[in-house]
Amino acid sequence: MSTQTKAPSEITFQDFKDEILEDYKIAITSRECSLLGRREVLTGKAKFGIFGDGKEVPQLAWAKVFKNGDFRSGYYRDQTLMMSIGKLSIQQFFAGLYAHTSIEADPMSAGRQMGGHFGTHSLNEDGDWKNLTEQKNSSADISPTAGQMPRLLGLAQASKIYRNVKGIDTTKFSVEGNEIAWGTIGNASTSEGLFFETINAAGVLQVPMVISVWDDEYGISVHAKHQTTKENISEILKGFQRDEHNKGYEILKVKGWDYTALIETYQKAERIAREEHVPVLIHVIELTQPQGHSTSGSHERYKSKERLDWEKEHDCIAQMKLWMIANNIATEDELDVIHKNVKRDVRQGKKAAWNAFLKPILEEKAQAVALITDASQKSSNRVFITKTINDLTEIQEPGRKDVLSACRKTLRYLVGEESVEKTALQNWINKYIEEIQPKYSSHLHSASKWSALHSKEVQPTYNDNAELVDARLIIRDNFDFIFGNYPETLIFGEDSGNIGDVNQGLEGLQEKYGELRVADVGIREATILGQGIGMAMRGLRPIAEIQYLDYILYALQIMSDDLATLQYRTKGKQKAPLIIRTRGHRLEGIWHSGSQLGGIINLVRGIHVLVPRNMTKAAGFYNTLLECDEPALIIECLNGYRLKEKMPNNIGKFKTPLGVVETVKEGTDITLVSYGSTLRIVAQTAKDLLEVGIDAEVIDVQSLLPFDLNHDIVKSVAKTNRLMIIDEDVPGGASAYILNEILNTQNGFEYLDSAPKTLTAKAHRPAYGTDGDYFSKPSSEDIFEAVYEVMHEVSPSDFPKLR
């Protein structure tokens, strides 16, 4: 099922008619899927439904200019486009609605996202790239309103990079930068800051981006008069319209029920974006939403009778039908036959999807019932187990929860009893969980040979007379090596270009590699992340620089909802190996302290979070990640750029491994765990503790996500029998996470002779000035006294109370 416009010189009148009739068939197929999909939710077969009804005809026009190599970044109403470009069948539509966990049945997300979230497969089975220029592409959708916009910017910018930067192997990714990134958003969602930030950035960058605003005058139940100034997004964006003197946007406006005008509008938008690399905004007005926002409510509650009557008359499919009849494309009877056949096809597709979804679960249910029945035969609690069997048997359309829950509850009745049948049930449960759990949990990280966890450490090496240099020079020279050897790499951020970043870690590199590869951008963190995500999804290796860790909060939603979940929500069919560069820790003041890691690590699971203590370690992380296919956040120590480090002689080649801790000082009395800038204070304090007879072992975490994969910290605790975690985050932040990993994942509690301790910053953010830092975050004296107090509890006579 697809629709493409032929060149005028090739088309006959019969071709013309056939194309329009095929468009109509796709439109009513999409509509019937929406209508039947809603009924499936209301009958309980599906949990929730949000559909693209009312937006069908504009998407038919869009599909005609959507070419191989192009990318979509949209929201959950674009099902007609996906059907039109041959990427969504009826059966797949319903498989997504039912949350079928097979990637073959539901290629969008294998049941991990609710229906209406569309993505195509960018990767082969081994995790390597497909040839994206030979297929039509959709980046995997997310639900958060306007969250698709920052990524859209990056998808479009990739075409600009491919068109203008020489030396990149574009074979699988671009044909001379001719690809368009197509975005969609509802009119109400244009109120989001992410929309305006992206619109501004695309206008500055002049990238081939076409954004369609589907305007049905409502945002859920709220009318546009409460959403948008002048109730009209294209009206208030007029200032972005390009003219003969200024670059900007081409802004187009078209009625969503006018089939021919829509085709003309999308053809014009395509030509401008594809040829000129100018962004285009298409305001598609007078649209309808026949079933309201979603299955969670009825639009009759908030729309007047006059509005509902207008929507019925101006429904885009109804208007297309009238136009076809008026222009002798088809008779009403012919169109009714098409509609009748489509209804049949949709019902059959729905039935096939439901049967395919239910069949394996029914087989699993039968196995479970047989095993429970066998186990009940000799049990003294047979009567209770029989009820469980009957309850499960009566469920005609079970879920896996029903199957597994019944089996697990049965074991409660078999406690203290032994039988071959009980053992068989136990083994089946264990095997079932082992086989089924990955259907819901796999691919949080890469499962390919390029996984970061496969990378091996390469130590920095030094000449005998290695020079002590400002640590920023190690970062700078390492980036120089990267850009010189990886033409697909680029870096961009606030002050990253002309001045070589605020700490001179990119000094001179823009002049050497050009403004596209080492670029300054505006103060707009969310779309800096979005640039990186989109370009990484198209085969580039971007490094998105957020000037300070504190400012990453502006982009945290994009990191959490989009980047962190990408491999998971596509079950490994898309990836964005973006490196996020920032700096934090131990500066003075509320908004420049950069240590809010407790929040970050709990929001970005799916992104590696790396906290190197110096610039050599940081450079090694960049080198590691560029050999891998996963996203990561690297936090350089903000107060470390002017500290002295030895210059390695294998710049660009040494690698810091992920998930590996480093013991920077061995000891026997207590294990001290920290990272980043605070680690340096801990290491110095450990020397002071030796003066009073306390021999502390100091361990640098280095990598928070993943954390100590070799369980080396617990080996240290087994030796010292005492543990303290020192962290400049707030109480219960990263220190709580680290403590949980050591005690619960590594079973460190088995070796403790003293209560484990955490020493953190105060609950507030750091006050300004040196004294503010001292009284807000752990100082050397705080660490010394806290460790001393632990040893005082162990041996008061050897370590009399300090104060």
Catalytic residue set: 592
Beta-strand runs (E) in 483-612: 489-493, 518-520, 541-545, 579-584, 608-610
Q: If we measure between CA atoms, which residue out of 450, 457, 534 comes closest to residue 138? A: 534
Crossing angle, helix 615-625 and helix 471-485, to 10 degrees? 20
H/E segment holding residue 635: strand 632-637
The β-bridge partners of 542 are 490
At 705, list the tokens. Answer: 């996500």
Q: Please list the residues that pair with 241 across neighbouring strands.
A: 249
Q: Which residue has the tokens 């990280």?
A: 445
First to last CA, the chain: 79
Length in residues, the chain:
803
Asked if residue 450 lies in contact with residue 628, where contact means CB atoms within 8 angstroms, the answer is yes
* Residue 396, both tokens: 């005609």
| Helix-, strand-, coil-residue percentages of the chain, each rounded to 5 | 45, 10, 40
Distance of alpha carbon 694 from alpha carbon 696, whole angstroms: 6
Q: How far apart are CA 142 and CA 73, in angstroms?
A: 9
Residue 717, strand partner residues: none
The answer to whether 555 and 600 have CB atoms below 8 angstroms apart is: no
Of the candidates 584, 634, 602, 621, which has an alpha carbon nearest to the alpha carbon of residue 733? Answer: 602
632 is written with which tokens? 């990561």
Structure tokens at 685: 């304090």
Taking a C-beta distance cutoff of 8 angstroms, is the pair 199, 191 a contact?
no
Q: 71: which 2 tokens? A: 């990318």
Let me know: does 95 contact 356? Beta carbons within 8 Å: yes
CA–CA separation, 179 and 157 (whole Å):
10
SS (H, E, C) 392-433: HHHCCCCCHHHHHHHHHHHHHHCCCCCCHHHHHHHHHHHHHH
Cα dist from 602 to 258, 391, 766, whole Å: 48, 39, 22
Which amino acid type is present at position 600? I
CA dist 51 and 33 (Å) reads: 9
CA distance linking residue 91 with residue 58, whole number of Å: 23
